[in-house]
Amino acid sequence: MTRQEPVTAGIESGRDHARQVRKVAFSGLLGTVIEYYDFLLYSTMAALVFGTLYFPASNPATSTIAAFGTLAAGYVARPLGGLLFGHFGDRLGRKSALVTSMLLMGVASVLIGVLPTYETLGLTAPLLLVLLRVVQGIAVGGEYGGAALMVIEHADPRRRGAWVGIMQMGSPLGSLLSNGAVALVTLLPKEQFLAWGWRIPFLASAVLLIIGLYVRLSVVESPLFREAVAAGEARKREPVPLVRVLRKPRAVLLACAAGIGPFALTALIGSHSVAYASGLGYELPDIMRAHLLISLTGLVGIPLFSALSDRIGRRRVLMLGAIGAVVFAFPMYALVGTGSVLAMTAALMTAQVFQNLMYAPLAPMLSEMFGTRVRYTGVSLGYQMASLLGAGFTPMVAAALVAGTGGSSLPLSWIIVLAVGISITAVLLIAETSGRDLRDEPAG
């Protein structure tokens, strides 16, 4: 019997670990759902109502561009959130940073849902809207890197992509919930939608927040971080994680560049396409139904392609999406410009597949590019800088280019080619990371 006890203990330990990995992946999924539901909900409302309610102007295009400017403010804040939460996540632990980021996002979204408009508060209203958007950006900046790390640092090295793919399903799920909520409230008469209907999806985020916090508080800290603490590595006062990352900036620069392409696609397929398709004469319910199908595409594609990167490598999967995106950049807008709802939907869904191929391997690849003591900071900074450069100003720039060229889609296609070209260059310079031992300090 005594010989069997260690075996039994090992089995139980293995079962406990597997159970904990599932719980961590589910927690990461919920956290990502909440963050992207709230963040993307704002993006859609910026295209639909914020220009009218918070930035009134005689020219509707000017109002839309101003509203997209507040959208950019959230993206500007994301690297700040990545640095802030990355520092404390590398110093104090992943779990506490993630709980805080989730709480910040939920509170900011509920406050947007009750924020008076320009008609009531005057200039104070858009200023408060921008402030709350910045808080959202800080929260998202801390969420993604930490959620990805918690999953990756718990998972079997051979299945990191598969497990983190579950967490990354939160992005399309959040988008699906966001688009679904918007689709429902846009069924209201326009007067009621503008008066109070748009607020309902923001207020509903409180329910998601309560569920997410309950699950997140039940997970254990990353085992790799606990090992670093036990070795005394995570308690070092000097240098701080950011300084360590910037001493060898190649990794974070390449991480940022690799993410610019998929983020630019996200901005164009997501928030900007709502305003662009509306300008072409498509009905809003048709646009929102197309976006629901786009979200469903991501719900299948992201976990599939993330798991595929475990088998054939992160770089190959990303390159497949990049090449497809460049080839499809001009046909996509030609199809949208036909006026056919079916053609528009098919074009955006196809583009979403290429975006998923680029985006899915990003989290495991970035996580494998940094050591444990700086991983939260490095991943968050690279990822969030990519989001800022790739998506932060893209809807605003795209709207301005369309307005300035009389509605031409050519500048939009060239944005895709340029952004994806940057990602292709970066991926060619990054060595394959799949299966790397996360306890090792990466070179360079």
Other CB atoms within 10 A of residue 242 CB: 18
Mutual orientation of helices 314-336 and 250-267 as an angle, nearest 10°? 30
Per-residue pLDDT at 442: 66
User: Tokens representing 261?
Assistant: 């392409």
Rounded to the nearest 5 percent, the helix, strand and coil shares of the chain are 80, 0, 20
User: Tokens representing 363?
Assistant: 């989290």
- Over its C-alpha atoms, the chain yields an Rg (Å, rounded) of 22
pLDDT tens-digit series, residues 249-277? 999 999 999 999 999 999 999 878 888 89
Alpha helices in 124-248 (DSSP H): 124-154, 160-168, 170-185, 190-192, 199-216, 223-230, 241-247
Q: Which residues in the chain show pLDDT less than 70?
A: 1-14, 17, 57-71, 228-238, 440-444
Q: Quick check: 255 and 382 in contact, CB under 8 A?
A: yes
Distance CA 57, CA 24 (A): 47
Q: Quick check: 35 and 143 in contact, CB under 8 A?
A: yes
Q: Which of 409, 286, 411, 301 is nearest to 352 (CA)?
A: 301
**Sequence-ordered list of residues with C-beta below 8 angstroms from that of 12, at least 6 positions apart, any chain:** none
Distance CA 336, CA 332 (A): 6
Half-sphere exposure of 43 (CA within 13 A, CB side): 30
Distance CA 149, CA 157 (A): 13
Distance CA 363, CA 35 (A): 16
As a whole number of Å, the end-to-end CA separation of the chain is 51
Distance CA 188, CA 196 (A): 10
Q: Quick check: 383 and 362 in contact, CB under 8 A?
A: yes
Q: Quick check: 369 and 225 in contact, CB under 8 A?
A: no
User: How many helices (H) does the chain have, and how many strands (E)?
Assistant: 21, 0
The domains located in the chain, with CATH, are 18-237 (1.20.1250.20), 240-443 (1.20.1250.20)
User: Tokens representing 231?
Assistant: 């070795």
- What DSSP state is assigned to residue 159? G
Half-sphere exposure of 172 (CA within 13 A, CB side): 26
Q: Quick check: 35 and 170 in contact, CB under 8 A?
A: yes
Half-sphere exposure of 333 (CA within 13 A, CB side): 24
Q: Quick check: 296 and 352 in contact, CB under 8 A?
A: no
- Label residue 191 exposed, middle or buried (CB < 10 Å: 0-12, 13-18, 19+): exposed
Per-residue pLDDT at 426: 96
pLDDT tens-digit series, residues 125-176? 888 888 898 898 898 888 878 888 888 888 888 888 999 998 888 888 888 8
3-state secondary structure (DSSP) of residue 409? coil
Distance CA 181, CA 111 (A): 17
Mutual orientation of helices 199-216 and 94-113 as an angle, nearest 10°? 160
Output the CA torsion sign for 423, 429, 433, 434: positive
**Sequence-ordered list of residues with C-beta below 8 angstroms from that of 402, at least 6 positions apart, any chain:** 276, 279, 408, 409, 411, 412
